[in-house]
């Protein structure tokens, strides 16, 4: 028996609705604003991500130790580099920024529009 059930990952940001819109473009779903301070994205067949406004938000700067990422999200971009390339094109068009592209690894690192790192991973299914 578990003690609790997982509910959400909550991401601090300066503009919850805008960042929820970015992730809706990446993962699907429709952002629901509970207030100007809190927006929820229920991802189809996936977890719930919530976004909360933080005044004077300071984004992480990966990979700096003095401004650490604190967390990151990994996304399955398929099993081929062509599928990763297609996912990369899509996330960049939505406003992501490439941070690291080393194809010897099975992932590429990006920042969302608020500066949070995330990875597109090549996964052998």
CATH number at residue 3: 3.30.720.120
What backbone torsions phi and psi does residue 103 show, to the nearest 5 degrees?
Answer: -70, -5
Give dist(CA 15, CA 29) in Å, integer: 18
* Residue 38 sits in the same domain as residue 62: no
Which residues make beta-bridge pairs with 69? none
* Residue 124 sits in the same domain as residue 63: yes
Write down the pTM of the prediction. Answer: 0.89
pLDDT, one tens digit per residue, over 56-98 is: 999 988 888 888 877 889 999 999 999 999 999 999 999 999 9
Of the two residues 63 and 25, the one the predictor is more confident about is: 25
Domains of the chain: total: 2
Of the residues 29, 56, 83, the one at which a domain ends: 56
Question: Within its chain, how far is the Cα of 106 from the centroid?
Answer: 17
The boundaries of the domain holding residue 69 are 58-125
For residues 27 and 21, the answer to whether their CB atoms sit within 8 Å is no
Say what the pLDDT of residue 102 is. Answer: 78
- Nearest to 79, CA basis, from 120, 114, 51: 120
Looking at the chain, the whole-number percentage of residues with pLDDT higher than 70 is: 98
* Residue 48 sits in the same domain as residue 96: no
* Residue 90 sits in the same domain as residue 121: yes
């Amino acid at each position: 028996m578990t003690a609790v059930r997982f509910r959400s990952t909550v991401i601090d940001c300066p503009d919850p609705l805008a960042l929820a819109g970015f992730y809706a473009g990446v993962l699907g779903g429709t952002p629901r604003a509970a207030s100007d301070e809190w927006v929820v994205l229920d991802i189809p067949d996936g977890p719930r991500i919530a976004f909360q406004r933080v005044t004077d938000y300071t984004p992480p700067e990966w990979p700096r130790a003095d401004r650490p990422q604190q967390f990151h999200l990994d996304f399955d971009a398929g099993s081929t580099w062509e599928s990763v390339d297609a996912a990369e094109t899509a996330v960049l068009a939505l406003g992501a920024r490439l941070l690291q592209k080393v194809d010897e690894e099975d992932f590429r690192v990006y920042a969302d529009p608020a500066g949070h790192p995330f990875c597109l991973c090549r996964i052998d299914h």
